[in-house]
């Protein structure tokens, strides 16, 4: 048993009232507000306490720029001009 446990053995537990400005918020492992892309890429999402309105508090106004949805490339058409239309040599 460590010293602090011995000293506090017979003392009542302390109580703490959370200030109203302290909120729980989810944050991506990148430190930004998590998006669907974060979840799709299986990024770690943490829940922590923040001061509401502070620059460190994750917000929808500042979404994660690291985990971004990438559009699926469209394969070229049968004759390879990239837009699915046949290139008949007329222009």
Question: What is the residue range of 27's domain?
Answer: 19-62
- Please determine, for residue 77, whether its predicted confidence score (pLDDT) is greater than 90: no
> HSE on the CB side for 90, CA within 13 Å?
3
Tally the domains of the chain.
Answer: 1
Task: Tell me whether residue 7 is in a domain.
Answer: no
> pTM for this one?
0.56
pLDDT in tens, 48-58: 999 998 988 89
For residue 5, the SS3 value is: helix
Task: Tell me whether residue 24 is in a domain.
Answer: yes
pLDDT at position 89: 52
pLDDT at position 21: 96
| Residue 29 CB coordination number (10 Å) | 14
Task: Tell me whether residue 40 is in a domain.
Answer: yes
Task: Tell me whether residue 43 is in a domain.
Answer: yes
């Amino acid at each position: 048993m460590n010293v602090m446990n011995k000293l506090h053995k017979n003392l009542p537990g302390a109580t703490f009232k959370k200030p109203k400005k302290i909120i729980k918020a989810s944050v991506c492992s990148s430190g930004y507000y998590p998006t669907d892309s974060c979840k799709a890429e299986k990024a770690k999402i943490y829940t922590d306490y923040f001061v509401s309105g502070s620059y460190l508090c994750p917000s929808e106004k500042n979404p994660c720029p690291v985990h971004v949805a990438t559009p699926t490339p469209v394969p070229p058409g049968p004759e390879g001009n990239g837009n699915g239309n046949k290139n008949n040599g007329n222009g």
